[in-house]
Structure 1
Amino acid sequence: MQALDKGTGLPARAGLGLKPEHYQAILDGEPDIGFFEVHAENYMGAGGPPHRWLEAIRERYPLSLHGVALSIGAARPLDKAHLARLKALVERYRPQSFSEHLAWSTHDEGFLNDLLPLPYTDETLARVSAHVDETQQALGRRMLLENPSTYVLFAESTIDEIDFLAAVADRTGCGLLLDVNNVMVSAVNHRLDPYAYIDRFPVDKVGEVHLAGYDETADGAGDRLLIDAHATEVRNDVFALYEYLLRRTGPLPTLVEWDNDVPGFDTLHGEARRVDAALDAQAARRDARAA
């Protein structure tokens, strides 16, 4: 088994998702952003304008590569052609971080345009761990695995979600991506305590944090139902949970996701500044304790 490249790591700053409508504003203004993140599948073509833009931005900023279609949890072999395209992209851009979801999106020969949840069982744990191992060996680098947002629970699950993620990390040496919005969405939907989730999470394995906005509706019983929509600013309850996390961890690379109804860049930059202020405040508290 080859040794895995853990990369140089992202700065413990706020990052933003890179959107085509903001390419020119970023290159013209060179805003003070810690890093940019791109979805790997958007750059798997051989060339063209997307690569020219990304190459120019990669020269100026650290890069996080986030996969959305590898289908780590699928009950079928990983797509070797997809892995090859992903490897070529990693070798081309040498991102400081690569991450994927604890989810599945493929069945037989079909692809489902969604990130679907898994039952947490010994069988699933073995399959996910094998797929993470295969991915890391193919890429020659350590990956981060993201906790999901969920709307249903499986009766057959025998392992707690946090224990499942920790076990995958222990078996494979992968890191974890902690999506705080996903924690809030799942906790509200399943009537759980999001702060208790953060208290138990193995934060020593976290290499990156995600924040996003959720939408809210009601279920058939009239109870709150949150949707992981990525179409608004980070909600105040999610941001409060994030600040609680930072008191456990200290500053961590933190991405603000806004993938739908994307606003102008100034709005996104404002979200990044809000995150950077929280990171700076936590760093100051840490320094004061050490003094």
Structure 2
Amino acid sequence: MATPPAAWGVDWFETITENHLGVGGYSRAVLEHVAAHRPVVFHGVSLSIGSTEPLDRSYLHGLKQLIAEFKPMWVSDHLCWTGVQGLNTHDLLPLPYTEASLAHVADRVRAVQDCLGQPLILENPSTYLEATASTVPEAEFLARLVAETGCGLLVDVNNIHVSCTNHGHDPDAYLDALPMEAVVQVHLAGPTDCGTHLIDTHDTPVPDPVWQLYRRLWQRCGPVATLLEWDANIPSWDGLLAELAKAQDARNG
């Protein structure tokens, strides 16, 4: 990053965990440079906490080494599964929300936290289908995971908007079901409207419904670390800062 750290205009950074597991070169150099000047958090996409496969101990070992070296403020991943039989779908797949899957995921969360020696922060996923076997609403599932394991929550406001729109659910009711005292971080992003579904693409400005939902979340939980995700069609750095500044306007609105 050629811009001097004093001019970055942000308080902290999030990085994808998998980009730095056993990886050197440019990716490593950027992380070292950023971490020398700002706090960082690690956000994973391959923990596969909802899978029936055994936990990947090699992955956890590498993550533990990264934590020891860079001392992130926290470590997060998604309430999902990503593959079976050693194969990675490179997608965040939904799981059935049942009593059995709750017990299964809770056991795995506790095992991860025991391994890492710190709470795991779990993010609500964006979903495009729901399991017919589900008996527990997603927000209640997350709330019960918090109660049973002591994990924290990363509330992705765009994911709530996407999933509730896709499935005809009430986003305010979703927020009401979450334990606000467990919210550690918030994600903001923009989806793509494909007509029949919203897709969580992270490649457009944050839409008004997400800003409105973010304002209601802020009113419920108070100040919370907020991150803007933008993965494609990325604007200039000044453009990103301008979009992030809208978060302050939303909170004050």
TM-score by length of 2: 0.95
1:32-111 to structure 2, matched below 5 A, reads 32-111=9-88
Structure 2 gaps, min length 5: none
Shift in Å, 1:28? 5.8
Q: Distance in 1 between matches of 2:19 and 2:76?
A: 15
Which structure dedicates a bigger proportion of its chain to strand?
1
- Give the 3-state SS of the residue equivalent to 2:15 in structure 1: strand
1:163-222 deviation per Cα after TM superposition (whole angstroms, max 9, x unaligned)? 111111111111111111000001110111112211222111111011100000123xxx
Q: Distance in 2 between matches of 1:74 and 1:44?
A: 21
1:213-262 deviation per Cα after TM superposition (whole angstroms, max 9, x unaligned)? 0000123xxxxx11011011111110111011111111110111101222
Q: Is the 8 A contact 2:5 2:37 kept in 1?
A: no
Distance 1:277 1:64, change over 3 A: farther
User: Equivalent residue for 2:186?
Assistant: 209
Q: Which amino acid aligns with 1:267?
A: G
Is the aligned partner of 1:264 residue 2:236?
Answer: yes
Q: Distance in 2 between matches of 1:226 and 1:47?
A: 36
- Give the 3-state SS of the residue equivalent to 1:110 in structure 2: coil
User: Equivalent residue for 1:18?
Assistant: none
Shift in Å, 1:88? 0.9
Q: Is the 8 A contact 1:33 1:272 kept in 2?
A: no
Q: Distance in 2 between matches of 1:278 and 1:55?
A: 33
Shift in Å, 1:268? 1.1
Shift in Å, 1:158? 1.3
1:171-250 to structure 2, matched below 5 A, reads 171-219=148-196, 225-250=197-222
TM-score by length of 1: 0.83
* RMSD between superposed Cα atoms in Å: 1.5
1:85-121 deviation per Cα after TM superposition (whole angstroms, max 9, x unaligned)? 1111111110012111000001112110100000001
Q: Distance in 2 between matches of 1:262 and 1:142?
A: 32
User: Equivalent residue for 1:9?
Assistant: none
User: Equivalent residue for 1:288?
Assistant: none
Q: Is the 8 A contact 1:73 1:104 kept in 2?
A: yes
- Name the stretch that deviates more: 40-49 or 129-138: 40-49
Q: Distance in 2 between matches of 1:144 and 1:253?
A: 13
User: Equivalent residue for 1:10?
Assistant: none
Shift in Å, 1:278? 3.8
Q: Distance in 2 between matches of 1:125 and 1:117?
A: 13
Structure 1 gaps, min length 5: 1-22, 220-224, 283-291
Shift in Å, 1:29? 5.6
Q: Is the 8 A contact 2:143 2:177 kept in 1?
A: no
Distance 1:161 1:28, change over 3 A: closer
- Give the 3-state SS of the residue equivalent to 1:116 in structure 2: coil
Q: Is the 8 A contact 2:80 2:125 kept in 1?
A: yes
Q: Is the 8 A contact 1:177 1:208 kept in 2?
A: yes
Q: Which amino acid aligns with 1:47?
A: G
User: Equivalent residue for 2:114?
Assistant: 137
Q: Distance in 2 between matches of 1:169 and 1:151?
A: 24
- Give the 3-state SS of the residue equivalent to 2:90 in structure 1: strand
1:20-79 deviation per Cα after TM superposition (whole angstroms, max 9, x unaligned)? xxx333x46632202110000001125322222211211211111100111110011111
Q: Is the 8 A contact 2:140 2:177 kept in 1?
A: no
Q: Which amino acid aligns with 1:230?
A: H
Q: Percent identity?
A: 42
Q: Distance in 1 between matches of 2:234 and 2:75?
A: 23
